[in-house]
Amino acid sequence: MSPEFPVEFSQTPRSLETIARELDSRGLKPTAQRLRVASVLMSAPAHMTAEQILDELRRRGSRVSKATVYNTLKALAQHGLVRQIHLDSERSVYDSTRVPHHHFHDIETGELVDIAPDEIAFSRFPQLPEGTEAAAVEVVIRIRRKRSSAGSGE
Ligand SMILES: [Zn+2]
CA of 150 to the centre of ligand 1 (A): 34
Alpha carbons 30 and 19: distance in angstroms, whole number: 8
CA of 56 to the centre of ligand 1 (A): 19
Give, for 67, the enclosing helix (H) or strand (E).
helix 66-78
User: Of 95, 118, 135, at which residue does a domain stop?
Assistant: 95
Q: Which domain holds residue 36?
A: 15-95
CA of 131 to the centre of ligand 1 (A): 29
Give φ, ψ of 143 to 5 degrees.
-125, 160
pLDDT at 106: 93
Residue 150 domain-assigned (yes or no): no
CA of 101 to the centre of ligand 1 (A): 6
Report pTM: 0.79
pLDDT profile of the chain (154 residues), mean per 10:
46 86 95 95 93 95 93 96 86 89 91 91 93 91 87 53
CATH number of the domain within which 52 lies: 1.10.10.10
Residue 4 domain-assigned (yes or no): no
pLDDT at 86: 85
CA of 53 to the centre of ligand 1 (A): 16
Contact 6, 102 (CB under 8 A): no
